Amino acid sequence: MQRLQKVIAEAGISSRRKAEQLIINGQVMVNGKIVTTLGVKVDPDRDQIIVNGKKIKSHPKKVVVLLNKPKKVITSMKDPQGRKTVVDLIHISERIYPVGRLDYDTEGLLLLTNDGELANRLMHPRYELDKTYEAIVDGNPKEFELERLRKGIQLEDGLTSPAKVEKITINKKNQAKIKITIHEGRNRQVRRMFQAIGYSVIHLKRVQYGFLTLKGVSVGQYRFLNEEEICRLKQLVSLSCKEKER
């Protein structure tokens, strides 16, 4: 017997925290009855569990997909304005969800999975997974300005953690390409950090997430992580990797 919210998360419906909210909101039925109490235990092999009208599988195949997200694509399951979303780019039978987000105008490495527990851990600030971006900014930041980013800079939602920052090139338009590594996941954080030192980001691409890179994955394309990669990801967030993955 397992807690209902854990079963929902492991089925890839949502993170465990969001599963708890689904239960509280009356969106979950067990054996034909709405359950709104947290902590209820179920047998996923015997009990019929329905979330928002859809029966969940007791042991869905866990997958993790690495997508090279293009610009002008929404990091969401659906968009009220009818814009293309990241899940529109991935054609698989499993229902997967984005791990965190990339802005509409930001491209690069994005993970999607149906493993709710793994996704929740990857997004938790406790585990501090590095995310590396290449930013092209309008202008040529001085070293002392970049040092402010390295030490942490005050934004409207608080002081950022220290970042790794390296200037790569300067083009003929006096635009600098800068590599920056952070482990936080605040909204539009990299863009706001550069804005705070007086520079606008013209182009932004996430090129690495933990140990994962975009090698071999073109813009708009994706690949499945292999068993070893999933295991390494789980180890980074203190999860067991005994279960065989796709």
CATH of domain 2-55: 3.10.290.10
Q: What CATH class does 130-209 carry?
A: alpha beta
Q: pTM for the whole thing?
A: 0.78
Q: Domain spans of the chain? A: 2-55, 68-125+212-236, 130-209
**Smallest Cα–Cα separation from 200: which of 178, 220, 233, 223?**
178
Q: Over its length of 246 residues, how does the chain's per-residue pLDDT go in tens digits?
A: 889 998 888 777 777 888 999 999 999 999 999 999 998 999 888 899 999 998 887 666 889 999 999 999 999 888 888 899 999 999 987 888 999 999 999 999 999 998 888 998 999 888 889 999 999 999 999 999 999 999 999 999 999 999 999 999 999 999 999 999 999 988 899 999 999 999 999 999 999 999 999 999 999 999 999 999 999 999 999 998 864 444
Q: Is the domain defined by 68-125+212-236 classed in CATH 3.30.70.580?
A: yes
Task: Considering the candidates 103, 105, 130, 138, report the single residue annotated as catalytic.
Answer: 103
**Positions of E strands within the chain:** 2-3, 28-30, 33-34, 41-42, 49-51, 54-55, 64-69, 97-98, 107-113, 131-138, 154-155, 158-159, 164-170, 175-182, 201-209, 212-213, 222-224
The answer to whether 2-55 and 130-209 have equal CATH topology is no
Say whether 103 is catalytic. yes
